Structure 1
């Protein structure tokens, strides 16, 4: 029913009015979308023509682009608490990695698509921009903090060329549009309780009002989750609580007003980033110490054995066991024992996201929708570092460890609006996006003592004894788009459109080098300030769809995209402001934003029992930006964001879904892809002599050439079961391909049984999920601490995360 799904149909206004007044119950929990003659959700044709298997949609008949979806059922069959990002890993050309079994640990969760990493993709929730969802996200938040998992209606991936209307400044390699589900027509109360491995508990509750007098309905729900890290000691508890409210009000028979608000509070304790030497010598489950006395000993040993810091006579000067096994003798720091373990590290995030949206059929052919949104974030990344001692008011060291923070603050707001006009042969759609933001970023240090850490890893500290730097980045984004889909004849459709985007950002330096200690020789000129503009006035997209017959079709499209510069201070990502004032002044006249030109072509087949799609894709990625040291770091030379050339990607992917026999369904997805750097680049290291880094022709870091996914599922009556597997090929983690992690194979299993109409209950349900069924040991995420040119022995940078072991979760839910 239209009233059940929030569908607004321009040519069906009378039907909508009848259904609102009748307020008939409807159990469907589909994604919010506009459909019918004036549909404009993704491509004008996508919202109505994406075929909807109950779990994975492998093809989108009629679309001129490669569009695939994950539905609500697939999300609900996953382990409760699983991030929607992790579920997208079932799609071809999608690489998902994480250090935890749920894909919810933000420091280590990564998604890559066709050679583009997470911060080169675009993400939205109900049209609201989420930024690039990276850990230190400057302009948004992760989907796990924006929406409770059970409220996901649909996640749609537009691979390669992306969607023109996506409100994003980072979608070089595609766009992911998350849609929340709608309130139910009938009053419901649902409660679910999960228990699992590593002391995991999760409580979820949702209340649906049903249709109220005045044609209004809403839901309000919340979740509270606790679990221990699967490795480590000491403070290892992970927790979050989150609440969502969504309200829909039907305005007459032509409009729907929607209000949504999300509150999220997360406390994450980090898994230690590894290298191969540590995993081999210290064990697969090695992690941070979690013991203050041991952490003090390690920090003091480093200073005593060559680190150069103050040595405390009351503390041991040898590394603790088993870290000492990394040394051939005291003083041997070649295997980086000082970084093998810290006391602890963590991340804190608090977010409030809300929007008000209105969709209206202005005429029988014209539909308008607009969304106004706001987002506020407060967060911090915490690390008990042995590289900066704690000092008292007199400047005397009192502990070899301090707590270093990267502190974040976001205040942003904007609007997204569009009009769609449809005739028998044409669908013309255009819109605008505007956003204004203030982003705060600071690097500070807080006191510890020999007696205790003083600071809790679960709380944001106060009263910093030293502020290294702090920035404020005000920015504005303007984006316009226009697209037309024209049906030349019933079997042939062409589409053409463009977007124009401009981002203006300014870096303003606040406090720097202040506190009870000051670094010598640091002035305001040590840091960069100033404004940059990025974007492009004309970014075209063209596509064609040829329907060969009832079941088969071909499609092709091309698109041009650009990415905005990232905010950040020294040592914080690839930011133009991560350098000196002289360096920033030098790059402003030559720096160009990263851009991509994507081409794809494919075939689709759809019938009652079989869906399949195969695609070829080619991408030219230009102006790749990398922060490169411009001289000896010991002499104070700054890094400078530098254009290091391009990347070329060629590949094929495909997916098939077949209904076999009496409830059995088999799904397979396969990808062969090769992404290589086009050019070498030059850097100046410790010697001060320029050196060439031979990256030309090398495989791009974290870009496996082979991916394979499959799933066998069975559904009959009240019982569902599935087993899926995922193979990922070798991945490099240096730019020169001199080190890599091997391919890995994962299998997962799940089943559930529900019983309807049991006494006072509408439904009782039991669910069991097993992650990593075979208990495989493997390297999961690579690049958690970035990538470097060369590391043949895997000791120069601890940037690997090992994968979570077998994890079992059971859930019992009731619905009234």
Structure 2
């Protein structure tokens, strides 16, 4: 193992840092403001939920840097990380589904302060320490126009609101230790008010061994923020974030292996460098490393009490690489792929809001976004193993690409009239997929490994190159709620979301000879592509019973142009095409609130069905039975609950999460068993420890029953067991124990 460098903060036990707030699970789901003492859904529209500071602290796990570990307690959210910290995702697969849907294309689910700065593949997936997050908004039903942005919004958004520089001088220190040599150090320092300016800076370091096999993870985060408020008319906040991530991946099992977890639970990549030719089973050839820098700001100008102008610019640059070996492939074709990534994205959101009255508020805005590939992959090198050494063997893909450019003017009307609340929004979006100039064909071991040189000396492949393509789409949204009284609201919401998969280019490159033999160019197939859209409708009811918030919801989604691997009779070839119609529907029930002064809870139950609504041809004479079959890795039933008991300075929080059976293919022939996980978090707070305002000791246990289970099925929604494109299966972490000490000064 590499040495893990911890910082001399405080040494003790598992991974959360509390501010000076009392230790309880107050605001575990949603609340109008941080001052409220009740647990009810007040300041969100429809089925959206807000997780505030105390739920972030209690549910954030010992790594304390991944919002998905918190929102997974919401109904219909299925988050399945490869390890117990929630920070080692399997390669570039994003292991989260909301209402059965997975994110499409090179777009990320999360936002920061309403800005879509995440992307996938690449780094920066956990660039925010949760101590620097004031609240998390889960948007899975209604999306307003200014939040319905980014490369994809298909499954909704997870918006993290930054904990701005404090008005009072403050320091926070935290140190955690745990299973598998886990350590995490965190520090944050706030200047307090210095005239019109407030500043903060923070850093964290996380390291641990993989729970099986050789390899480790090391991650470093640093963040700085400034707030400037010279008057009531103007305010500004700006943040810079740096994230460095180096980690080894876990081996993914075949379906046969996943059916016998007792025998294959600990299977991982080989520890010793192979000596046989074409043997690529080695842990250090399966890893990733990224350096990511992000800058974002929010500028607000308020010329009057009824007028607000907001400008939000953002920028992210990301550089690194994936290393992956094709262990389960034909040994004669086994290769190690180095996927080099050096890209950026930038953009901004600007809007002007005017309030005419309580019944009418108008917002006019504009969003602009540019995002450089990968997505699709453009710089992947192949290596073969010769006597344990890697020898360059040409490019798996080599292309020069244009930026993806998205832009949209938008407008929104909102207000309240009597007991009726409404939001009506409309966005007109221009979505341009960048051009692709392929130089892959003809590359070999003599091609330069320098990307720029390889492009300059390469030969353009007209068969596999395409022009930019633009989609123009109307994106409407509507929320309407009627408040019978202060405790009961009936609501309906509608929003169109969108996404785009970029699998056609790598598929064409991999099967180029077959397409050329059929006289089919990539441009011909490219011309048929369509933007995937989902029209989402929620019908829900919110009520309060003795301080407990209840929210039953029925929902349905009508999906058009979903990607499927199909046979195209016009060209006589198979390829991923946007020709599928799908439907998602189900029901959710969430409950949260205090049972007594010392006992409160959060619970969620959901049923999610998500399936294609037609069969597909896989050859001129073969039709695959896909209609009504649940997509892979999408459990139909989810149940989760956390119960928090406070007495004296103690807080004890047991939690449980149930995931029903899933499938590894679209024909539902590969079944993965259901599983249930039990966790326990115990916290104790004292004041004045080591001169601090407050100190919190924590002890946490995850997977207390040491359940052996499949966490993630790595597959596309349209994978078919009969095509030879197999899903792989990622196991989840065993029983682990962590402890931490957090100090606030």
Q: Which has the higher contact order (CA 8 A, sep 6+)?
A: 2
Structure 2 residue aligned with 1:117, among 96, 102, 105? 102
What is the alpha-carbon distance in structure 1 between the residues aligned to residue 78 and residue 130 of structure 2? Answer: 20
Q: Which residue pairs with 2:491 in the alignment?
A: 555
Whether 2:523 is the aligned partner of 1:544: answer no
1:278 CA drift (Å): 2.4
What is the alpha-carbon distance in structure 2 between the residues aligned to residue 651 and residue 388 of structure 1? Answer: 38
What is the alpha-carbon distance in structure 1 between the residues aligned to residue 509 and residue 650 of structure 2? Answer: 48
Q: Which residue pairs with 1:331 in the alignment?
A: none
What is the alpha-carbon distance in structure 2 between the residues aligned to residue 379 and residue 582 of structure 1? Answer: 34
What is the alpha-carbon distance in structure 1 between the residues aligned to residue 41 and residue 695 of structure 2? Answer: 33
Q: Which residue pairs with 1:237 in the alignment?
A: 216
Paired residues of 1:251 and 1:257 also in contact (CA < 8 A): no
Paired residues of 2:144 and 2:477 also in contact (CA < 8 A): no
Whether 2:103 is the aligned partner of 1:168: answer no
SS at match of 1:619: strand
1:73 to 1:298, Cα distance in 2 relative to 1, 3 A: farther
Q: For residues 495-534 of structure 1, what are the structure 2 equivalents within 5 Å?
A: 495-509=423-437, 511-512=439-440, 513-516=442-445, 524-534=461-471
Q: Which residue pairs with 2:419 in the alignment?
A: 491
Paired residues of 1:79 and 1:809 also in contact (CA < 8 A): no
Whether 2:333 is the aligned partner of 1:405: answer no
Deviation per residue, 1:725-749 (Å, 9 max, x gap)? 0111111121111112111101111
Q: Which residue pairs with 1:460 in the alignment?
A: none
SS at match of 2:88: coil
Whether 2:368 is the aligned partner of 1:434: answer yes
Q: Which residue pairs with 2:736 in the alignment?
A: 807
What is the alpha-carbon distance in structure 1 between the residues aligned to residue 542 and residue 728 of structure 2? Answer: 40
1:400 to 1:587, Cα distance in 2 relative to 1, 3 A: closer
Structure 2 residue aligned with 1:479, among 408, 424, 429? 408
1:406 CA drift (Å): 1.4
What is the alpha-carbon distance in structure 2 between the residues aligned to residue 693 and residue 400 of structure 1? Answer: 29
1:526 CA drift (Å): 4.5
What is the alpha-carbon distance in structure 1 between the residues aligned to residue 439 and residue 231 of structure 2? Answer: 54
Whether 2:693 is the aligned partner of 1:762: answer yes
SS at match of 2:269: coil
Structure 1 residue aligned with 2:535, among 597, 600, 603? 597
1:502 CA drift (Å): 1.0
Paired residues of 1:630 and 1:638 also in contact (CA < 8 A): yes
Paired residues of 1:676 and 1:697 also in contact (CA < 8 A): yes
SS at match of 2:304: coil
Q: For residues 515-664 of structure 1, what are the structure 2 equivalents within 5 Å?
A: 515-516=444-445, 524-536=461-473, 538-564=474-500, 566=502, 569-571=505-507, 582-606=520-544, 609-628=547-566, 640-664=575-599
What is the alpha-carbon distance in structure 1 between the residues aligned to residue 592 and residue 226 of structure 2? Answer: 35
1:149 to 1:782, Cα distance in 2 relative to 1, 3 A: same
Structure 1 residue aligned with 2:666, among 731, 735, 747? 735
Q: For residues 664-813 of structure 1, what are the structure 2 equivalents within 5 Å?
A: 664-684=599-619, 690-758=621-689, 760-784=691-715, 788-790=719-721, 797-813=726-742
SS at match of 1:548: strand
1:528 CA drift (Å): 3.0
Deviation per residue, 1:81-108 (Å, 9 max, x gap)? 1411121100011111111102211225
> If the length of structure 1 is used for normalisation, what is the TM-score?
0.78
1:764 to 1:495, Cα distance in 2 relative to 1, 3 A: closer
Q: Which residue pairs with 1:19 in the alignment?
A: none
What is the alpha-carbon distance in structure 2 between the residues aligned to residue 674 and residue 583 of structure 1? Answer: 37
1:671 CA drift (Å): 0.6
Whether 2:133 is the aligned partner of 1:152: answer yes
1:52 to 1:88, Cα distance in 2 relative to 1, 3 A: farther
Q: For residues 174-213 of structure 1, what are the structure 2 equivalents within 5 Å?
A: 174-212=156-194
Whether 2:197 is the aligned partner of 1:261: answer no
What is the alpha-carbon distance in structure 2 between the residues aligned to residue 612 and residue 290 of structure 1? Answer: 51
What is the alpha-carbon distance in structure 2 between the residues aligned to residue 273 and residue 572 of structure 1? Answer: 25
Structure 2 residue aligned with 1:365, among 306, 318, 330? 306
- Computing the radius of gyration from Cα coordinates, the structure with the larger value is 1
What is the alpha-carbon distance in structure 1 between the residues aligned to residue 301 and residue 638 of structure 2? Answer: 43
SS at match of 2:126: helix
1:468 CA drift (Å): 3.3
1:383 CA drift (Å): 2.1
Q: Which residue pairs with 1:88 in the alignment?
A: 71
What is the alpha-carbon distance in structure 2 between the residues aligned to residue 774 and residue 765 of structure 1? Answer: 26
What is the alpha-carbon distance in structure 1 between the residues aligned to residue 480 and residue 329 of structure 2? Answer: 59
1:466 to 1:250, Cα distance in 2 relative to 1, 3 A: same
Paired residues of 2:505 and 2:522 also in contact (CA < 8 A): no
Is there any run of 5+ residues in structure 2 with no aligned partner, and where?
1-18, 23-28, 448-458
Paired residues of 2:697 and 2:740 also in contact (CA < 8 A): yes
Structure 2 residue aligned with 1:353, among 294, 299, 303? 294
Deviation per residue, 1:644-676 (Å, 9 max, x gap)? 421112211011113112310122211122222
Q: Which residue pairs with 2:380 in the alignment?
A: 443
1:565 to 1:746, Cα distance in 2 relative to 1, 3 A: closer
Deviation per residue, 1:301-334 (Å, 9 max, x gap)? xxxxxxxxxxxxxxxxxxxxxxxxxxxxxxxxxx
What is the alpha-carbon distance in structure 2 between the residues aligned to residue 671 and residue 164 of structure 1? Answer: 27
Deviation per residue, 1:343-366 (Å, 9 max, x gap)? 640111110000122122221101
What is the alpha-carbon distance in structure 1 between the residues aligned to residue 720 and residue 223 of structure 2? Answer: 44
SS at match of 1:201: strand
What is the alpha-carbon distance in structure 2 between the residues aligned to residue 806 and residue 79 of structure 1? Answer: 14
Paired residues of 2:564 and 2:718 also in contact (CA < 8 A): no
Deviation per residue, 1:457-508 (Å, 9 max, x gap)? xxxxxxx5523322223122101221111323x2112321211111112233
1:117 CA drift (Å): 0.9
What is the alpha-carbon distance in structure 1 between the residues aligned to residue 278 and residue 552 of structure 2? Answer: 54
> If the length of structure 2 is used for normalisation, what is the TM-score?
0.85
Q: Which deviates the most, 195-204 or 63-72?
A: 63-72
- Pairs aligned (count): 693
Q: Which residue pairs with 2:7 in the alignment?
A: none
What is the alpha-carbon distance in structure 2 between the residues aligned to residue 587 and residue 527 of structure 1? Answer: 10
1:714 to 1:797, Cα distance in 2 relative to 1, 3 A: same
What is the alpha-carbon distance in structure 1 between the residues aligned to residue 329 and residue 94 of structure 2? Answer: 28
Paired residues of 1:124 and 1:130 also in contact (CA < 8 A): yes
Q: Which deviates the most, 422-431 or 364-373?
A: 422-431
1:796 CA drift (Å): 6.3
SS at match of 1:90: coil
Paired residues of 2:480 and 2:492 also in contact (CA < 8 A): yes
What is the alpha-carbon distance in structure 2 between the residues aligned to residue 254 and residue 503 of structure 1? Answer: 35
What is the alpha-carbon distance in structure 1 between the residues aligned to residue 223 and residue 40 of structure 2? Answer: 30
Whether 2:113 is the aligned partner of 1:126: answer yes
Paired residues of 1:230 and 1:804 also in contact (CA < 8 A): yes
1:622 CA drift (Å): 1.1
Deviation per residue, 1:219-263 (Å, 9 max, x gap)? 111111111111113xx1111111011111112222211110010
What is the alpha-carbon distance in structure 2 between the residues aligned to residue 98 and residue 796 of structure 1? Answer: 23
What is the alpha-carbon distance in structure 1 between the residues aligned to residue 319 and residue 714 of structure 2? Answer: 25
Paired residues of 2:464 and 2:523 also in contact (CA < 8 A): no
